[in-house]
Amino acid sequence: MNTQLNPARVDFVTLKLFCAIVQSGSITKGASICNLALSAASRRISEFEETVGMALLDRSVKGVTLTPAGHAVMQHALRLFQGFEQLSNELVEYSKGIKGHVRLWANMSALTEFLPSALASFLKAHPKIQVEVEEQLSGDIVRAILDGIADIGVFAEGPVTTGLDTRVMGRDQLVIACSKTHPLGNRKNISFEECLEYDFVGLNRGSSLLELTSRNAEKLGKQMRLRIQVRSYDAMCQMIGVNLGIGVLPLQACEGQIKAMGLQAIQLNDSWAKRNLLLATKSNISQSPAATLLSRHLLG
């Protein structure tokens, strides 16, 4: 049986009702939330299930629960409402004279090193475009672009980028940072394999930098001895400064902190220590004029 959904037979009122019923656990409560008569609400849900071709709610005297198909409908309905809310917000911005809205997600390295001056010059040139910037982990940025939550992403290479158009925006030089009293404190360059004899300070799970270093340790048949994990480069530098371990850091993004805290930056000899910073957009979709302008500016 072909159960392909006909969009023309589904409306926002029914989807809103469906969500209200699920969240309240009752058709009666859902109908009340949506200001519908109980009979009208029941009819809408029955017609919705008929359109889908399967049951979406399990009904009992205790209320309603989602069927597996209902779970899928609920997830997509919430995404639709989120998209509609974003559309509404952007239209409000246009009515106020703002001529564009771009959602830019970037990792910590990009926000620290590349984006501040680039965004400042862009917004000066295009004062009626609003850029909504959010710091996220590289893997989360990829998912956000694919899901349509972000328009542009800037992150370090490493995550799988299937479904994205990516271009190199800049380069990151990774170094080993340690205190000057550490056994490595007098070194000028080093291999990552030598570093694995010592304790590390690292970022939390999910960061592209932690994934990169952990993967290369495994290739050498070893593991990083992570003594402590933190959420920012600044916190890493502070922990390294009191000799809790050494850390792998992007030099361009952290040079100021490394100097301010009196740390030693040791060049990594490994080829992977020079990594690309990527600008990504979703493949096969047309960007808004504002997003296109920002992409070109960042690449330029």
Final residue of a structural domain among 93, 108, 123:
93
Final residue of a structural domain among 93, 117, 136:
93
Distance, in Å, from the CA atom of 158 to the CA atom of 142, rounded to the nearest integer, reads 11
51 and 123 together in one domain: no
43 and 187 together in one domain: no
284 and 138 together in one domain: yes
For residue 163, the domain's CATH number is 3.40.190.290
53 and 148 together in one domain: no
Domain assignment present for residue 168? The answer is: yes
Over residues 91-109, mean pLDDT: 76
Domain assignment present for residue 224? The answer is: yes
164 and 284 together in one domain: yes
Tens-place pLDDT, residues 190-234: 999 999 999 999 998 777 788 889 999 999 999 999 999 998 899
| Count of domains forming the chain | 2
Considering the entire predicted model, what is its pTM?
0.59
The first and second tokens of residue 64, run together, are: 């309603």
Domain assignment present for residue 2? The answer is: no
In this structure, the number of other CB atoms found within 10 A of the CB of residue 18 comes to 25
Predicted pLDDT of residue 94:
58
Predicted pLDDT of residue 238:
96
Q: Is the pLDDT of residue 170 over 80?
A: yes
Q: Give residue 245's domain range.
A: 99-300
Domain assignment present for residue 128? The answer is: yes
87 and 108 together in one domain: no
Tens-place pLDDT, residues 45-84: 999 998 888 899 999 988 899 999 989 899 888 888 877 7
Predicted pLDDT of residue 122:
95
183 and 64 together in one domain: no
Predicted pLDDT of residue 96:
54
276 and 159 together in one domain: yes
125 and 55 together in one domain: no
140 and 27 together in one domain: no
Over residues 73-101, mean pLDDT: 73
Final residue of a structural domain among 93, 114, 141:
93
For residue 46, the domain's CATH number is 1.10.10.10
193 and 293 together in one domain: yes
Tens-place pLDDT, residues 236-288: 999 999 999 999 999 988 999 999 999 999 999 999 999 889 999 999 888 88
Residue 8 near residue 22, CB atoms below 8 Å: no
158 and 60 together in one domain: no
